[in-house]
């Protein structure tokens, strides 16, 4: 029997069909690519840990200042961390955004045992206000370098939330990135807005439980966050954010100074260069 | 002021953003291209009327047998009707379907003064059951060759209905196309299903009022129909249906004989040939 029963002898029957990739992405705001990077996760994890040890200026520490929270601009690495930035998944992203793309930002988020999570936020909100990204023609690729579970702080998303923008309260402080990359305060929606958003989207948040090597393409305005890592082992994810070439950064809409190059690329980098 | 207010001094504010083309297509099931073919509509209308006069075997008459209802396979014409089949709009369709495409069917629908409409239906239902199209990786481009108004029988659609498949009642008759292209009986959802579908989609049907030269790209499973032409002048629309190359026709799922080539292409035709 095929999925769509070939006419029937009773009344009409409404069936919810299997969705294709584009339809899933635009309906949910994200798309899971199971096992897509399974052959690369182990090497990428080792290299990410090495970069974290370097403690360069692209490295952001945890509030405790003892452990590394994130390493930025990993797409500039001449290793598999640079190569993975231009995998076949980027063809899917180009198609979804209907444009050529360049890397707006890349990073590895380390969440060591006990590491804190992120509150609910839209990446686009920050990228618009603090980086001057005009429109929502941007998507991130997240590659799980370790298992992601509810217990270790898997990404949680509100499906369909990319269809709504939340204008957040708060003046953007000068050089906000110095603290916001550790613990975001400005650009965080209040609880009432999140509750309203969940109602509008008609469904509860979903935890994206993944195996190492799975990946997720998610819309820049998808509301997401994560909880702390309650397990004894790290949860490590690699991110590349691709912006459409027709959506190049302007001056930040906050009117403040642009963030540093490692957080928001203004020197154009794409595959062709 | 830009669309997304740059943080604010009060509480969070939820804004419904402007959608991009892909997001609109996958959310509504269709996309309007205003004025895209404005320079071609007049010539295409003249040529379509000439083809109708020919009364070839690709021509389907109205129930009265006096007037022409449709002319099929117009993409095979060595005129602007053939050229328009491979306009720049096809790049958008390739991108939406994430595949190369070929023409599954093309036609001009004439709706003369007093001409009858079409009941609610999904093209995919017929193309699946009667043509053996496996999946919903197919979209139509409709070019308005005359003005489309509520009064002259503009296309009516149920936004979001492409996300639901209605398995329709009824055995497919032998050589069903002989009558179904004039007045469809099998493959028509019952009233309760349409009412349930409108509830699921959360919004009333929309009449797509268009100027000559406007176009609409619509998903093959979008529920649509039209009413009779109550005006004194014709309403004429040109259609090209593009199927993904990864979604080639199999044997009809009804188990019946395939429809003729003019209604469902099985000889592969695409731009490259």
Q: For residue range A223-272, what is the model confidence (pLDDT) as tens digits?
A: 999 999 999 999 999 999 999 999 999 999 988 899 888 889 887 655 44
The pLDDT, as a whole number, for residue B156 is 98
Give me the pLDDT at residue B269, please. 52
For the residues A46-69, what does the mean pLDDT come to? 88
- Cβ within 8 Å of B, A 75-114: 92, 95-98
Please check whether residue A167 touches B, CB under 8 A: yes
Do the chains contact at B169 and A9, CB–CB below 8 Å? yes
Q: Cα separation of A263 and A131, whole Å?
A: 9
Interface probe for A, chosen from B15, B23, B121, B221 (most Cβ of A below 10 Å), is B23
Would the CB atoms of B7 and A189 count as touching at under 8 Å?
no
Nearest to B5 among A5, A135, A167 (CB): A167
Q: What is the pTM of this model?
A: 0.88
Give the nearest chain B residue to A14 (CA atoms).
B166
Q: Which two tokens stand for residue B59?
A: 């021509």
Once rounded to an integer, what is the mean pLDDT over residues A124-143? Answer: 96
Q: Which helix (H) or strand (E) holds A81?
A: helix A80-83
CB–CB contact B20 A96 (8 Å): no
- Cα separation, B212 vs B260, in Å, equals 30
Residues B175, B104 contacting (CB under 8 angstroms): no
Low-confidence ranges of chain B (pLDDT < 70): 1, 268-273
Nearest chain B Cα distance for residue A95, angstroms: 5
Are A67 and A198 spatial neighbours (Cβ–Cβ below 8 Å)? no
A184-226 confidence digits (pLDDT tens) = 777 789 999 999 999 999 999 999 999 999 999 999 999 999 9
Please state the rounded mean pLDDT for residues A17-34.
94
Cα nearest neighbour of B130 on chain A: A6
Inspect the interface and report whether the beta carbons of A129 and B7 lie closer than 8 Å: yes
d(CA B191, nearest CA chain A) in Å:
9
**Which residue of chain A is at minimal alpha-carbon distance from B244?**
A20
Rounded Cα–Cα distance for residues B135 and A74 (Å)? 39
Give the residue from A107, A173, A172 showing the smallest Cα distance to A142.
Answer: A107
What are the φ/ψ torsions at residue B59 (nearest 5 degrees)?
-95, 130
pLDDT of residue A26: 95
Report the pLDDT value the prediction gives residue A54, as an integer from 0 to 100: 86
pLDDT at residue A273 in the model: 36
pLDDT given at position A271: 47
Using an 8 Å CB-CB cutoff, list chain B residues near A169: 7-12
Pick A190's closest partner by Cβ from B3, B11, B27.
Answer: B11
């Amino acid at each position: 029997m095929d999925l769509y029963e070939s006419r029937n002898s009773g009344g009409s029957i409404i069936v919810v069909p299997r969705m294709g990739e584009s339809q899933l992405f635009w309906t949910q705001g994200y798309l899971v690519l199971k096992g897509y990077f399974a052959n690369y996760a182990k090497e990428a994890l080792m290299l990410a840990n090495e970069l974290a040890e370097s403690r360069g200026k692209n490295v952001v520490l945890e509030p405790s200042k003892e452990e590394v929270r994130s390493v930025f601009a990993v797409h500039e690495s001449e290793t598999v961390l640079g190569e993975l930035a231009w995998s076949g998944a980027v063809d899917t992203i180009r198609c979804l955004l209907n444009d050529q793309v360049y890397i707006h930002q890349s990073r590895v988020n380390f969440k060591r045992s006990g590491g804190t999570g992120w509150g609910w936020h839209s990446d686009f909100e920050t990228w618009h206000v603090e980086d001057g990204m005009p429109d929502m023609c941007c998507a991130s690729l997240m590659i799980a370098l370790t298992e992601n579970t509810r217990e270790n702080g898997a990404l949680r998303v509100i499906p369909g939330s990319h269809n709504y923008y939340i204008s957040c309260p708060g003046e953007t402080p000068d050089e906000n990135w110095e603290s916001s990359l550790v613990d975001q305060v400005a650009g965080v929606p209040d609880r009432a807005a999140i509750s309203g958003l969940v109602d509008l989207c008609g469904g509860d948040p979903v935890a994206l439980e993944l195996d190492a090597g799975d990946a997720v393409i998610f819309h820049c305005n998808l509301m997401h966050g994560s909880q702390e890592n309650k397990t004894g082992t790290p949860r490590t994810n690699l991110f590349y954010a691709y912006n459409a070439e027709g959506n190049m950064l302007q001056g930040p809409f906050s009117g403040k100074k642009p963030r540093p190059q490692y957080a928001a690329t203004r020197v154009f980098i794409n595959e062709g260069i």
